[in-house]
Chains A and B, each alone.
Chain A
Amino acid sequence: MLGYIIRRILAVIPVMVIVAIFVFLLLRLTPGDPAAIIAGDSATPAQIQRIRESLGLADPLHIQFITWMGQLAQGDLGTSIISNQPVTRLIGQRIWPTLQIGTLTIILSVLIAVPLGVLAAWRHRTWADYAVMTFSVLGFSIPVFVIGYIFIKIFAIDLRWLPVQGYTPPGQDLQAFFTRAVLPCLTLATIYIALIARMTRASLLEVLGEDYVRTARAKGVKEHVVLFRHALRNAAVPIMTIIGTGFALLISGVVVTESVFNIPGIGRLTVDAILARDYPVIQAMILLTSAIYVFINLLIDISYTFFDPRIRY
């Protein structure tokens, strides 16, 4: 068990190195010269060259790479070209709203989606199943920003139950945090509820046909125990995979929601950085998102051993 976890953690290192190489090359090899952008339209070639040298962009590619990796290893992600602040500090300011909204969303999704999926599988081919499946298709097909504006129209403007947008840190005022977080979370959750409910249903339907479920019924076990204790845990591995991948996608997909609800998270930071061609920030954001992906996948892999004692690689 411990050996498995350590091996999984060690396997993360080469993945992250490869990601770093890709990020580095991606930005160096795409057209567009950051030095020219910083210098502005009226700069002379000499000015641009000076800026290029000060950014280290004039060095050969491999020297740039080694320098960059050296900085990375020390936790230095560079300095924003636009705001002149260290990128680590920029991210540090922005990541908490994103993580809070993301975590809340995924908890909400799981709490709603798993029971819905179980219901659909248990009442297979009845109206309950069809209702869940219809909702699931809708959840997939309506774009996030449309759902967001519909929620704002109904709950904030017409009913006036909740504020339209904004963000308050939970440390400052917990109630204000929740009232402002509800709409963005619900908006984001729609697609994940659809996804997780579908996966739960499919996975559970398969397990409900297994012999040990028949055995449990033959033992006279109550139906809810059959569903949750016997079936759901055996169906857990694919559901966990979807939840984990969903969470990772969520962190990188908050861009739209944060714009709609005006939340100062990393989604907005990324959008601003891209619009301004702020290369160090873009680089850092891609690295960070990849790291989150890898880390969450690591957690999923480890969670498998908890759900299924047979998994010991």
Chain B
Amino acid sequence: MQFRNRPFDTAPVALKIEKLTVRTANDDDAVKILDQIDVTIREGETVCLVGESGSGKSVTSLAIMGLLPKGALEVAGGRVELDGMNLLDLDASTMRKLRASRISMIFQEPMTALNPVMKVGDQIEEVLDSHTKLPAREKKKRVIDIMEQVHLPDVERIYGSYPHQLSGGQRQRIMIAMALILEPKLLIADEPTTALDVTTQNQVLKLIAELQERHGTAVLFITHDMGVVAEIADTVYVMRHGKIVESAPIETLLRSPQKDYTRNLLEAVPSLIPRDARPLADGAPALDVEGLTKVYDTRSFFGRGRETRAAQDVRFAIRPGRTLGIVGESGSGKSTVARCIMRLIDPTDGRITVGKADIAKLGRAALQPHRKHIQIVFQDPFRSLNPRWKVGDSLIEGPLNFGQSRKQALDHARELMELVGLPPDALGRYPHQFSGGQRQRIAIARAIAMRPDVLVADEAVSALDVSVQAQVLKLLDDLQEKLGIAILFITHDLRVAAQICDDVVVMQHGRIVEHDTAGNVLSRPQHEYTRALIDAAPGRRWDFANFRELATA
């Protein structure tokens, strides 16, 4: 593993945060969200701020920008020093002038961070309008120039495009162009690649590093992804509950973390080394998919219809007690396959055999009795549970539909709570009273309340912090052992796939390009797309949990 290991002790300081404290506003018993944090960033340096959700990373960045949500959070003390000024003392108008010209920021969601009703060229140009007085032609030249620097193709066309006409990666490049057009001293990047595919993430990380080199920008990079940290950081600050737990140069931190919390955080990073496949049990597969195809017709009024083949000739089978992973990037068709199998959407062609019945073509009524054999857990536990229903009601709804008595269903629900590691009184509470990880446990309990033979997990741990992720993966494993269910695990994260899958299917453009045991796919990939995916996985040469290089790199 090649770390950046560049010395910065002699470089001038770009930004110095001293004893910054932020608390909730308008509250008698104000809670401290940030508690006396100190961070120093030098010119040309990349400082990574890592921590789990709620640790205060994003609040730190918003406090520097002077963009804390009004009426909700306020600075209670400390200094943020840039160019000899304390940013916290500046009035609104002076602070506004510094944004984008001295400090700029890029955000996590390129989908929502750009104004959907404005052309992207105009959005970049707006930065110049706000801070400079350039003639129109000069402005356009500057915009085109920065768009070329962020390696956007076909710049003239993209200049006049709206955000929804661009891909996620292109949108993030537009954000970067906007942030760097005035060559600010400091760039704050708040999870800028979290919403992107690995290959796109890789390109965007390289782009930020390239522009940083060219313009000598200091970068404050906020992320929860240790792999990304290993690739790009010079210095790492670990945050927890609004405090800095530990800070060190990247290699020092990864090799010999000083604090327990940092050790735990690193140990929770799932390894890319696949687990051994479990012995193949006898018997018929619980789920058998053959020739599954889904075609979307886009009909237009005047023009001819267009066909989009979201899934084509997909075939695989899962035996009871085993886990099959489908990996691929967004648009590869993995979620389409999951939805077809659940019959949430209708497949165009193919067979889906659950137990003995082919459910691919069954009508609504005929399908009903088969529904309980196959259940799904979705990605976002914040949106997949009805917020107005008590957890117990969500859990027993399915069993009641299949003729269980209320008492039976509730008794079973109480057992399930214990099984997924939640207290029995959780049944009487509402989803918002639980953390993300607990909610995902509830979602899993809801799925297995139906006693299914097949469980489909669609990105079921992607929205969770790594430590929580590890617990939920373990839970799935334990449940599988006890109940013998077959799991279809959809994920974009190769590390997660390596931890939980016996077999892996790699999808690209709606087709399966590789299908083998997890060990073979991840250690000896045959297809070039699989190799590209593995190569793009950040920090893949480092064994985080053991604080050293991977033995077989």
Contacts and interface: CB of A to CB of B under 8 A. Distances in A.
Q: Which of A3, A212, A219, A225 has the most CB of B within 10 A?
A: A219
B98 interface: yes
Contact of A219 (B116, B126, B162, B300): B126
A156 B302 CA distance: 58
Given A125-B71, A219-B178, A211 B127 contact: no
A308 B116 contact: yes
A238 B105 CA distance: 31
A49 B178 CA distance: 81
A218 B65 CA distance: 7
A216 interface: yes
Contacts of A221: 96, 126, 130
A211 B115 CA distance: 8
Nearest to B111: A211
Interface string A52-84: 000000000000000000000000000000000
Q: Which of A210, A221, A222, A310 has the most CB of B within 10 A?
A: A221
Contacts of B98: 220
A122 to B, nearest CB: 11
B483 interface: no
B117 interface: yes
A218 B301 contact: no
B182 to A, nearest CB: 9
B173 interface: no
B391 to A, nearest CB: 28
Contacts of B117: 233-234, 307-310
A225 B162 CA distance: 19
A83 to B, nearest CB: 47
A215 B107 contact: yes
Contacts of B67: 214, 217-218
B104 interface: yes
Interface string A223-264: 101000110011000000000000000000000000000000
Interface string A271-313: 0000000000000000000000000000000000001111000
B531 interface: no
B126 A218 contact: no
B485 to A, nearest CB: 39
Contact of B116 (A216, A217, A218, A234): A234
Nearest to B92: A223
Contacts of B162: 309-310
A4 B96 CA distance: 42
A160 interface: no
Given A218-B99, A219-B130, A220-B99, A230 B115 contact: yes
Q: Which of A3, A212, A223, A307 has the most CB of B within 10 A?
A: A212
A128 to B, nearest CB: 15
Contacts of A7: 301
B131 interface: yes
B206 interface: no
Interface in B126-155: 126-127, 130-131
Interface in A180-234: 210-212, 214-223, 225, 229-230, 233-234
Interface string B73-117: 000000000000000000000001111110011010100111111
Contacts of B354: none
A223 B96 CA distance: 9
B302 A220 contact: no
A120 to B, nearest CB: 15
Given A212-B116, A234-B116, A310-B116, A219 B100 contact: yes
A216 B127 CA distance: 9
B115 A216 contact: yes
A300 B127 CA distance: 32
A253 B109 CA distance: 46
Contacts, number: 79
B130 A222 contact: yes
Contact of B97 (A218, A220, A229): A220
B125 to A, nearest CB: 11
Interface string B310-334: 0000000000000000000000000
A211 B109 contact: yes
Given A7-B301, A230-B118, A220 B113 contact: no
B220 interface: no
Contacts of B109: 211
A220 B112 contact: no
A3 B300 contact: yes
A193 to B, nearest CB: 26
Contacts of A217: 67, 99
B218 interface: no
A3 B302 contact: yes
B99 A219 contact: yes
A132 B104 CA distance: 36
Nearest to B99: A220
B113 A212 contact: yes
B47 interface: no
Interface string A14-37: 000000000000000000000000
Given A215-B113, A216-B115, A225 B130 contact: yes
Contacts of B300: 3
B107 A220 contact: no
Contacts of B130: 219-222, 225
B230 interface: no
A220 B131 contact: yes
B373 interface: no
A220 B100 contact: yes
B475 to A, nearest CB: 33
B175 A215 contact: yes
A3 B301 contact: yes
A121 to B, nearest CB: 13
Nearest to B95: A220
Contacts of B164: 309-310
B115 A215 contact: yes
B100 A218 contact: yes
Nearest to B70: A124
A234 B115 contact: yes
Contacts of B101: 220
Contacts of A225: 126, 130
Contact of A211 (B97, B112, B131, B301): B112
B204 to A, nearest CB: 17
Contacts of A234: 115-117
Contacts of A310: 116-117, 162, 164
A221 B67 CA distance: 13
Given A3-B301, A218-B99, 14 more contacts: A125-B71, A210-B112, A211-B107, A211-B112, A215-B175, A219-B100, A220-B97, A220-B99, A230-B115, A230-B118, A233-B118, A307-B117, A309-B164, A310-B116
11 contacts: A214-B107, A215-B113, A215-B178, A218-B67, A218-B107, A221-B96, A225-B130, A229-B118, A233-B118, A308-B117, A309-B164
Interface of B: 65, 67, 71, 96-101, 104-105, 107, 109, 112-118, 126-127, 130-131, 162, 164, 175, 178, 300-302
Which 3 pairs across A and B sit closest by C-beta, in order of nearness? A220-B99, A211-B112, A212-B115
